[in-house]
């Protein structure tokens, strides 16, 4: 820990996080760059003094805080008075009208992290927290094993914070994700392999190079950033919890941390206790958690990913076991959908709500639709779907399915002829539907 961070900590705002603890067996560890328990081999998690948090915050102090994730700083594992704030968080919670009507739901909300800052995915939340903590722990080089969005966030926020950055991605990622990393000028390693192979390589590199890997040795701090997806929804619903949430699952981290966020708001008296149902979404081409759920297993069998939903293509999910547990104990469901259904999900959200999401969001919308059709979502329930990334980054996924513009001469009659032709085509489409 550096001198600077110690002197910045004001009395009365002492850090509320106290130690790391193993998820199994409760073995305690100091607040360092550690992520696995040496005794139980279970993941480590940040523990807090909830009494101290209760004394520091109220609805009013949070509402008066910054318009970013840092309004919830008391619940996050950082001690600096000036965390890295690039405007991450406080994305819109949109009340759905047209998508809701299409699906027959009365109280559907969309948490729109497709417009999160600075890189248009929810990963900016976890990286803002991880890099703030990385600086506190004295790291000067930060890194990650990424399915795409994490590389974008790590590179961008490291650039902002003046940290050296080296990111690892699978070599077959979408062009937008690669370009959206390179532009920040980090070192980019495109690994000829899938995410699980990238991750294994990064574990070896981490052991040798002493870098701060946001989702490996800094994972306990990183993952806490996802709690803000729970906090914001509760605050934006008027300090109430929803009845049901639907979120995508890759490693399962985001899903389990939304749950932790809700529990912490209950524990500190910021919202009333309520049983929230947790449903999860996977792509059929990489659905190890959904398979375990359907087969009634409590262990996740790794798979080799093959889907257009690359951002959630993790075949060996670190938090799969915990995600299953939450789905079961909250009476939720974990469903998977095919690649064509994911494309339909992207188009459906765009056409009904004006939100262009990437493949992970298409997966979530398609799973929502599937759950509604199976009677697994009550139309009256307040349901929140988490849209976690932006469609401009995965254009290849929809390119073939959205048609072409009508190319015309710069003349009125050319326009009129094209308009007439498109209307005729539309009528033909409708006639086919009516037949």
Ligand X SMILES: *Cc1c(COP(=O)(O)O)cnc(C)c1O
Q: What is the binding site for ligand X (CB under 6 A)?
A: 121, 123, 147, 149, 248-255, 311-312, 358, 360, 388-389
CA distances from 50 to 15, 263, 271 (A): 11, 11, 14
Place of tokens 């991605």: 169
- Kindly tell me the sign of the dihedral angle through the C-alpha atoms of 302, 41, 23, 210: negative
* Residues 6+ positions from 112 with CB-CB distance below 8 Å: 91, 92, 93, 94, 355, 387
Longest dimension (CA), the chain: 77
* CB closer to ligand X, 154 vs 268: 154
Between 57 and 370, CB nearer to ligand X: 370
CB neighbour class for 156 (10 Å; exposed up to 12, middle 13-18, buried from 19): buried
Residue 331 sits at φ, ψ, to 5 deg, of: 65, 35
Tell me how far, at minimum, the Cβ of 311 lies from ligand X, in Å.
Answer: 4
Taking the least distance from each CB to ligand X, the nearer of 110 and 254 is 254
Residue with smaller CB distance to ligand X, 17 or 255: 255
Of the pair 21, 313, the CB lying nearest ligand X is at: 313
Q: Which residues contact 307 (CB under 8 A, 6 or more apart)?
A: 283, 284, 285, 286, 313, 339, 342, 359
Describe the strand order of the beta sheet including 141-145 as a list of residue ranges: 187-191, 164-170, 141-145, 212-213
Identity of the residue, 109 or 255, whose beta carbon is nearer to ligand X in the bound complex: 255
Residue number with CB closer to ligand X (186 or 389): 389
Q: Nearer to ligand X by C-beta: 121 or 228?
A: 121
Q: Which one, 79 or 335, has the nearer CB to ligand X?
A: 335
CB atoms within 10 A of CB 411: 9
Q: CB 182 → ligand X: shortest distance, Å? A: 18
The minimum distance between CB 146 and ligand X, in angstroms, equals 8
Q: Whats the size of the chain, residue-wise?
A: 435
Token pair 């950055």 is at which residue?
Answer: 165
Distance CA 124, CA 87 (A): 9
Tell me how far, at minimum, the Cβ of 87 lies from ligand X, in Å: 18
Give the DSSP H or E segment for 245: strand 244-248
C-beta of 83: minimal distance to ligand X in Å? 20
3-class state of residue 417 by DSSP: helix
- Whole-number minimum distance, CB 239 to ligand X, in Å? 25
- Beta carbon of residue 148, minimum distance to ligand X (angstroms, whole number): 7
Least Å from the CB of residue 152 to ligand X? 9
Residues 6+ apart with CB under 8 A from 357: 114, 346, 349, 350, 365, 387, 388, 389, 390, 391
**Cβ proximity to ligand X, 53 vs 360, nearer residue:** 360
CB of 119 to ligand X, least distance (A): 10
Compute the distance between CA of residue 368 and CA of residue 372 in angstroms, rounded to an integer.
6
CB of 53 or CB of 86, closer to ligand X:
86
Interior/surface letters 31-49, b for 16+ CB within 10 angstroms, e for the rest: bebebbbeeeebbbbbbbe
Quote the least distance from Cβ 426 to ligand X, whole Å.
33
The least CB distance from residue 11 to ligand X, in Å, is 35
| DSSP per residue, 188-237 | EEEESS-HHHHHHHHHHHHHHH--EETTTTTHHHHHHTTHHHHHHHHHHT
Q: How far is the CB of 391 from ligand X (least distance, A)?
A: 11
Q: Which is nearer to ligand X, 57 or 397 (CB)?
A: 397
What ranges make up the beta strands (E) of 275-380?
277-283, 334-337
Strand-pair category, 93-95 with 141-145: unpaired
């Amino acid at each position: 820990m550096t001198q600077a961070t110690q002197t910045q900590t004001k009395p009365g705002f002492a850090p509320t996080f106290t130690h790391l603890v193993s998820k199994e067996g409760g073995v305690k560890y100091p607040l360092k760059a550690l992520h696995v328990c040496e005794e139980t081999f279970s993941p480590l998690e940040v523990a807090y003094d909830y009494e101290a948090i209760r004394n520091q915050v109220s609805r009013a102090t949070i509402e008066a805080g910054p318009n970013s994730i840092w309004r919830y700083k008391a619940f996050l594992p950082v001690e600096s008075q000036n965390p890295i704030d690039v405007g991450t968080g406080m994305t819109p919670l949109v009340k759905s009208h047209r998508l809701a009507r299409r699906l027959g739901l009365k109280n559907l909300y969309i948490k729109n992290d497709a417009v999160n800052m600075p890189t248009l995915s929810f990963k900016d939340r976890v990286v803002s927290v991880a890099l703030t903590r990385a600086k506190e722990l004295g790291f000067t080089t930060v890194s990650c094993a990424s399915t795409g969005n994490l590389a974008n966030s790590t590179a961008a926020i490291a650039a902002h914070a003046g940290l050296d950055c080296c990111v690892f991605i699978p070599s077959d990622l979408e062009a937008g994700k690669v370009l959206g990393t390179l532009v920040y000028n980090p070192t980019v390693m495109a690994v000829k392999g899938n995410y699980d192979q990238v991750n294994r390589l990064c574990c070896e590199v981490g052991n040798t190079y002493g870098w701060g890997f946001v989702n490996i040795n800094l994972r306990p701090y990183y993952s806490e950033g996802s709690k803000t997806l729970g906090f914001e929804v509760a605050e934006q619903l008027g300090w109430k919890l929803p009845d049901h949430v639907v979120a995508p699952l890759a490693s399962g981290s985001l899903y389990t941390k939304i749950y932790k966020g809700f529990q912490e708001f209950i524990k500190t008296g910021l919202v009333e206790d309520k049983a929230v149902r947790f449903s999860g979404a996977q792509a059929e081409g990489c659905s190890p958690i959904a398979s375990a759920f359907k087969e009634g297993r409590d262990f996740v069998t790794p798979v080799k990913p093959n889907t257009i939903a690359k951002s959630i293509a993790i075949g060996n999910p670190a938090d799969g076991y915990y995600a299953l547990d939450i789905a079961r104990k909250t009476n939720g469901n974990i469903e998977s959908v095919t690649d064509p259904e994911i494309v339909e999900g992207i188009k459906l959200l765009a056409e009904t709500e004006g939100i262009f999401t990437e493949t992970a969001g298409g997966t979530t919308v398609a799973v929502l639709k599937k759950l509604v059709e199976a009677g697994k979502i009550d139309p009256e329930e307040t349901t929140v779907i988490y849209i976690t990334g932006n469609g401009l980054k995965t254009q290849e996924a929809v390119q073939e399915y959205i048609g072409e513009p009508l190319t015309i001469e710069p003349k009125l009659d050319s326009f009129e002829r094209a308009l007439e032709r498109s209307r005729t085509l539309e009528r033909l489409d409708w006639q086919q539907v009516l037949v």
